[in-house]
Amino acid sequence: MSAVAVILAAGVLALLAVAMGHVLGWANRRFHVAVDPKVEALLAVLPGANCGGCGFVGCAEYAEAVARGEAEVSLCAPGGAAAAMELADIMGVEVAESLPYRAVVHCSAHTDQRLQRAAYRGAPTCAAVNLVAGVQGCTYGCLGFGDCERACNYDAIRVTDGLSNVNYDRCVGCGACARVCPRNIITLAPFKSDRMLVVACSNHDTAADVRAVCMVGCLGCRACTRIAPELISVDGALPEINYDVYDPSDQALVKVLEKCPRKRLTFVGKPTEKDLAAVADKELPEEIQADFKTTVDDTEWWG
Ligand code: SF4
Ligand code: SF4
C-alpha cells in the first residue's frame, strides 16, 4: 500500500472518529435522564441486596420512593437500623426506633414425626409437593423441600430432616423465605430480645385430628392462655402470641413453656445471659436449634 493510501485511510478514520464523537455527545445530551442526587445518595446507603423485602422491586425503586416521600425510611431489613438512620438523615426526617424482624418457622415436626405420609416422586420443590394431596397427613406443616432455603440470599435458612431452621446469626428479616413458602408457615416476628417465644406449629385442627397426623403438633389445649391470657390467645385451636405485650424477662414465659404438653411454645434465637440466669435452677426449655447438615437433596418420602 502506498503512503498516500495510508494517509488517506488515517484521515478518513480520524474524520469518522470526530463525527462519531459529535453524534455520541449529541445523544448524551438528547437522551440524558437526570438522576436526582438525593436518590443517588439514598441508593449509596442501601445494601444493594435487591431482595424485595421493602415491598419494592429493588433498592433503586425503593430509593426513588423514599426520595418522593412515598415510603418510610425503615423498610430495608438487610440495612437495618443503621441504614434507616442514614436514610432519615438524608431525608431530614425522624426515624422511629424499630425492632429487627426475623423469620420464624411455625412447624417443628421432623420427617419421622409426621404421620400418614405417602410416596412422592414428583419435582422436589415445596411448590410442587403442595399441589399433591396426601403426601403427608398434616396439610399445614413444613414440606421440607427447601423452597425457602433456595430463596434466601443470606444462607440463613436450611432444611434438616424435613424441617426448615433459621440461623439467627445470619437472618436479616428480608422475608424472601416467607414469600415463597407455599404453606405460609414462615412469618416475620419482631425480635425484642435475642431469644423470642414463638408458636412452632400451624395446625388449626382439633386435638384428635392433630394427633392423627403429627406426633408433636399443638393440641389447642389452652394451658398456655390460662397462664398468660394477655400474652397468648387461642385462635380456633392454635395459640397466637401478642408481641405488643411480650416481655422477654417475664417469668410467666417459663411457666408457659413448662405447661405446654407438646412443647410447641418454644424459644427461637439465642438465650441471653439474663435469660440463662432467669432459668438457672430449671431445666432449659426446648429450643429449635439450627443444624446445618442439610438434607434437602436426599429427603425421602417413601412412607
Ligand atoms: S431466613 Fe433468609 S430469606 Fe428468610 S427472612 Fe431471614 S434472611 Fe430473609
Ligand atoms: S418452610 Fe421452607 S421447606 Fe418448609 S414448606 Fe415452606 S418453603 Fe418448603
Residue 37 CA to ligand 2 center (angstroms) comes to 41
Report yes or no: 104 and 196 within 8 Å, Cβ to Cβ: yes
pLDDT at 5: 79
Q: Could you tell me if the CB of 66 is within 6 A of ligand 1?
A: no
Question: What is residue 97's DSSP assignment?
Answer: -
Q: Which of 152, 179, 186, 299 to mutate to test the pocket of ligand 2 (most atoms within 8 A of CB)?
A: 186
pLDDT-derived band at 1 (thresholds 50, 70, 90) equals low
pLDDT at 17: 83
pLDDT at 271: 57
Q: Could you tell me if the CB of 269 is within 6 A of ligand 1?
A: no
pLDDT at 282: 52
Q: Which of 111, 161, 171, 183 to mutate to test the pocket of ligand 2 (most atoms within 8 A of CB)?
A: 183
Extract long-range pairs of 207-212: CB within 8 Å, 24+ residues apart: 207/237, 210/138, 210/237, 212/115, 212/116, 212/137
d(CA 157, CA 292): 9
Q: Which stretch of DSSP H or E encloses residue 128?
A: helix 126-129
pLDDT at 256: 84
| For residues 125-151, average pLDDT | 94
Question: Quick check: 281 pLDDT over 80?
Answer: no
Report yes or no: 102 and 176 within 8 Å, Cβ to Cβ: no
Bridge partners for 114 per DSSP: 214
Q: Whose CA is nearest to atom 6 of ligand 2?
A: 181
Residue 154 CA to ligand 1 center (angstroms) comes to 7
Ligand nearest the Cα atom of residue 101 = 1
Amino acid in the structure at residue 286: E
Summarize pLDDT for 33-90 with one digit per residue, the tens: 677 899 999 999 998 888 888 889 889 999 999 999 999 898 888 888 888 889 999 9
Summarize pLDDT for 108-129 with one digit per residue, the tens: 999 999 999 898 989 999 999 9
Ligand nearest the Cα atom of residue 114 = 2
Report yes or no: 142 and 162 within 8 Å, Cβ to Cβ: yes
Summarize pLDDT for 234-278 with one digit per residue, the tens: 878 899 999 888 888 887 888 888 888 888 888 888 755 655 565
Residue 8 CA to ligand 1 center (angstroms) comes to 64
| For residues 126-146, average pLDDT | 93
Cell numbers describing residue 43: 441508593
d(CA 47, CA 153): 12
d(CA 223, CA 148): 32
pLDDT at 280: 59
Ligand 2 atom with least separation from CA of 130 = 5
Q: Which residues line ligand 2 (CB under 6 A)?
A: 105, 126, 142-148, 159, 164, 180-181, 183, 185-186
